[in-house]
A and B are shown apart, each in its own frame.
Chain A
C-alpha cells in the first residue's frame, strides 16, 4: 500500500513534463494525450488530465484552437507556446540531470552490496 502511494506521487510530479513533451513537435487533442499517458501507465482516469491542461493553458504554456470533428463536438487541439517550449526544454534538461544523479545513487548502493 505504502509503495503504491509513493509510486503515484512519483508519477504526478513528472506528468507536466510528459504532457509538454508529447506536444513538443506536434499538436494534439486531449484524447491523444490521454491515450499516450495511459499507455505509459502515468494516469488512470481521464478526469485528472482536463484540470491539468487548463492550468497549463492558463499559465501560458499551452494554447489551443478548435477543430471540427466527424464523430462529436468540436475538439480542442493543443500546442506549446514559446514559453511552453522554453519550459519544456528547461524541464527536460533538469530531468536528465536528475535521473542521471538518481541512477548513480541507486547504482552505488548496489555496488557496495
Chain B
C-alpha cells in the first residue's frame, strides 16, 4: 500500500505516489531554476510542464491509474536533466550563462539559525564566524536580529546542487555538479565509516575488553563528556529561556507600572517608568511614545531574539525527530513536566 497525492499539471489531474511526487517536484524546481535567467522563462516552463503532463497521461489507462516513480524517471529521461540540457545549449546561450554572477543564498550545510551567515560566508568567501560575530554584536543595538530576520525572509535557501554551486559562484555545468555531488558522497561515506568504526570498537569492547583498555577508557570518557555537555546544554537552554522571559515581563511591566520594578528592587535609583523617562528628555512631557517605542526596539527585540533562540535550542535537544516537533508546543503548554522529562530522556 502506498499513500497517493493528487496533482494538477496544466489542467490534467494525476494521482501520484508520494515518492514519485517528490522526484517530479524536485525535477520541476531544478528546471525552473535552470531557466529562470533566460528570456521567456515562464513560457518555456509552461511548455515543458504541458509535455510532461502529456507524457504522463500516455502512461495511464483504466488498469493503471497511478503515476509511479518509474513513470517519472521515464519522463525525466525523455525530457533530460538540467545537466543534459546544458550540454545541448548553443554557444550563444552558454556565454550568457557564464556571465551569471554569484548569488546570495542561505546555506543549509553551514547554519545555526537560518543559514544567513553561512550564505554570506560563501558569497564573500570569508569564514562564517565573522558574520555570526557581527550579528551578535549588532544585536546590542537591536539592528542585528532585525537585519537577520530580514535576510532570513528575503534570501532563499540553496536547495539544489545547482543553487549550492551558484552560492559559491562556481559555474553551473555538468562537471562542477558532478564534482560537488562526489564531494557530498565522500563526506557521507566518511561519516558512515566512522560510525562503522565506532560500532566495531564497541563490539571489540565487549569481546576483549582487556585488550584495548586505554582506548575504551578514552571512549568512555568522551561519552561521559558528551553526555555532560548535553545536560549542560539543556539546563542552560532552560535557564536562558526563564531569564529572558522574566526579564521581558519585568521590563514591559515596569515601563508602564513602576510599582512592579519598585516591588522587586526596592532602592532602584531611577524609576524604570516610561513616562518618567520621557519627563527627563522632554521637559514638556509631550511626545514620549517615541521614547517608549525606542526602548522597546533597543531592549525588547534582542530579548525576543534570546527567547526564540533558547526555545529552538530546547526543542532541538528534546525532540530530535522532526516529525514529533509539532507536538512539542502542546506538551510545553499542557504538561511542562512531561516536556522536561523528554529533555532529560533524550540527552
Contact = CB atoms under 8 A, between A and B. Distances in A.
Interface of A: 8-9, 12-13, 15, 30-31, 43-48, 50-51, 53-55, 57-58, 69, 71-73, 75-76
A45 B83 CA distance: 11
21 contacts: A12-B89, A44-B84, A44-B87, A45-B78, A45-B84, A45-B88, A46-B51, A46-B79, A47-B81, A47-B88, A48-B80, A50-B44, A50-B47, A50-B51, A51-B38, A53-B47, A54-B39, A54-B40, A54-B43, A54-B47, A57-B40
A47 B12 contact: no
Contacts of B11: 73
Contact of A48 (B39, B51, B89): B89
6 tightest Cβ-Cβ pairs between the two chains A and B: A45-B80, A48-B88, A72-B54, A47-B80, A73-B10, A54-B40
Contact of A12 (B10, B40, B44, B91): B91
Nearest to A71: B57
A54 B44 contact: yes
Band of interface residues on B: 20 to 34
Contacts of B87: 8, 44
B48 interface: yes
A13, A55, A72, most chain B CB atoms within 10 A:
A72
A72 B53 contact: yes
A46 B38 CA distance: 17
Interface string B20-40: 000000000001000100111
Given A47-B80, A54-B40, A72 B57 contact: yes
Nearest to A11: B88
B321 interface: no
A28 to B, nearest CB: 14
A51 B37 CA distance: 12
A50 B40 CA distance: 10
Contacts of B266: none
B50 to A, nearest CB: 5
Nearest to B11: A73
B31, B38, B50, B58, most chain A CB atoms within 10 A:
B50
Interface SS majority for chain A: helix
Contacts of B82: 47
B90 interface: yes
Interface of B: 10-12, 31, 35, 38-40, 43-44, 47-48, 50-51, 53-54, 57-58, 78-82, 84-85, 87-91, 93
Contacts of A12: 88-91
Contacts of B54: 31, 69, 71-73
B61 to A, nearest CB: 11
Given A45-B85, A48-B89, A69-B54, 14 more contacts: A8-B88, A12-B89, A46-B80, A47-B48, A47-B80, A47-B81, A50-B44, A50-B51, A54-B43, A58-B39, A71-B54, A72-B10, A72-B50, A72-B54
Contact of B48 (A44, A50, A57): A50
A91 to B, nearest CB: 14
Contacts of B57: 71-72
B81 to A, nearest CB: 8
Nearest to A15: B90
Nearest to A70: B57
Given A45-B79, A47-B84, A73 B53 contact: yes
A60 to B, nearest CB: 13
Contacts of A30: 47, 51
A12 B91 CA distance: 9
B31 to A, nearest CB: 7
Contacts of A31: 51, 54
Nearest to B94: A12
B90 A13 contact: yes
A71 B43 CA distance: 21
Contacts of B85: 45, 47-48, 51
A9, A13, A46, A47, most chain B CB atoms within 10 A:
A47
